[in-house]
Homo-oligomer: A and B are copies of this chain.
Amino acid sequence: MTKGKTPPAPGHVNLRMLAEHLGLSQTTVSLVLNNSPSAKSIPQETRNRVVEAAQRLDYRPNYFARSLRQSRSMSVGVLAPDLSEGYFTRVMGGVVEELTAARYFYFTACHDWKPELIEKYPRMLVERAVDGFLLLNTSVDELTVPVPVVAISAHCSAEKVTNILLDHHQAVQRALSHLYHLGHRRIAFMRGPRAIPDSEFRWESIQQVAREMDLKLDPELAIRIDTAGWSTKGGQHPMAPEIGYKPMQALLEQTRAFTAVFCFNDISAIGAIRALKDAGLSVPGDVSVVGFDDILSAAYATPSLTTVRQPLAEMGRRGAKVLLERIADKKKTFPTDIFMESELIIRESTGPAKHRS
């Protein structure tokens, strides 16, 4: 049916065939269909004929030929750690909205935190002539690509890069003062994996805010999610609740002298809650738990999760929008950093600090 055997029938109508059919030159047809300014001398009647014929014969310009000529692909590359539950999904919701509106598609590449893939994928995508890059949650020291880049939740100091960042200071402040007002003074902190750029931003903000609030940070209560050696491929997913379960379990073996824990994200918070319960502690009775992100299941966890909501979709939208603008106008200057505000969602997992006996 769609074999494309003989030259006269390449499975589809091309410009030459359309032009022949109309008794016009390819030039004219192309000019009309692209509404090119240099076609202003072409009378309306001819235009109509062309457009009508194109429609009737279902003419579709060949994507490769067009892209070859114009050297742009109408697609961008998205570089992300993984297709993680929670983060990727939400950000991409916003990204897709913006890209689709501009008739752009995107290639996704998951580097799984492997340095060699973080090297390789950008190159491969450049070969596919993407018009720009979107970096999710991924820091790249020196990304030498010939196209614009927007980094979401990461920081690239390179030129031609716009960073979309959460205002971590404000986010942490909201979370900690919530706990503070509930009477919590001994708070455990779960730091994110080293690979994730936000881990460091967050931790710095925590230290700073703690100073400002005159809250003591006990190093013993600072635990860290360690995903070293984990891999999506191996069946074990780096973003399973287990990432929070293990460190919390380890902490509980050391000490129970804390009344709250501020987790790196909701997934790990769910794991942490599980660990607390398994250790015979009640949430929020004995320990209050604060998550981060506000993933969809946060509201349906037991207990439902108090968490800092990142405007992930909005960050995606904004990032995609800036990227498209950068693509459209390569010389204009763009802001280096764009900060987004978070929101504290208070649910069941936090409560008044238990007066310790």
Q: Determine if A75 is an interface residue (Cβ-Cβ < 8 Å).
A: yes
Q: Determine if A292 is an interface residue (Cβ-Cβ < 8 Å).
A: no
- Cα of A282 to Cα of B29 in the assembled complex, Å: 71
Which of B84, B124, B300 interacts with A270 by CB under 8 Å? B300
Q: Report 30 cross-chain contacts, Cβ distance below 8 Å, ordered by A residue.
A: A2-B146, A12-B146, A62-B68, A63-B128, A63-B129, A64-B65, A75-B128, A83-B83, A83-B88, A83-B89, A83-B92, A83-B93, A83-B96, A85-B85, A85-B297, A93-B232, A96-B110, A105-B124, A105-B125, A107-B107, A237-B296, A239-B296, A240-B299, A240-B300, A241-B297, A267-B297, A270-B300, A274-B302, A277-B302, A301-B301
Contacting B at CB under 8 A, from A16-31, are none
> Closest residue of chain B to A96, judged by CB?
B110
Contacting B at CB under 8 A, from A282-303, are 295-297, 299-302
Contacting B at CB under 8 A, from A196-213, are none
**What copy number does this chain have within its complex?**
2
| Cβ contacts under 8 Å, A271 to chain B | 300
Q: Determine if A273 is an interface residue (Cβ-Cβ < 8 Å).
A: yes
Contacting B at CB under 8 A, from A49-91, are 60, 62-65, 67-68, 71, 73, 75, 83-86, 88-89
- Cα of A63 to Cα of B232 in the assembled complex, Å: 30
| Cβ contacts under 8 Å, A241 to chain B | 296-297, 299-300
Which of B86, B237, B300 interacts with A245 by CB under 8 Å? B300
Given contacts A63-B129, A64-B65, 6 further A-B contacts (CB under 8 A): A62-B68, A64-B71, A83-B93, A239-B296, A241-B296, A301-B302
**In the complex, which of the residues A84, A127, A241, A297 has the most CB atoms of chain B within 10 Å of its own CB atom?**
A297
- Cα of A12 to Cα of B107 in the assembled complex, Å: 22
Whether the Cβ atoms of B302 and A85 lie closer than 8 Å is: no
| Cβ contacts under 8 Å, A232 to chain B | 93
Whether the Cβ atoms of A273 and B302 lie closer than 8 Å is: yes
| Cβ contacts under 8 Å, A332 to chain B | none
Q: Determine if A180 is an interface residue (Cβ-Cβ < 8 Å).
A: no
Contacting B at CB under 8 A, from A210-257, are 232-233, 237, 239-242, 245
CB of A104, distance to nearest CB on chain B (Å): 10
| Cβ contacts under 8 Å, A299 to chain B | 240-242
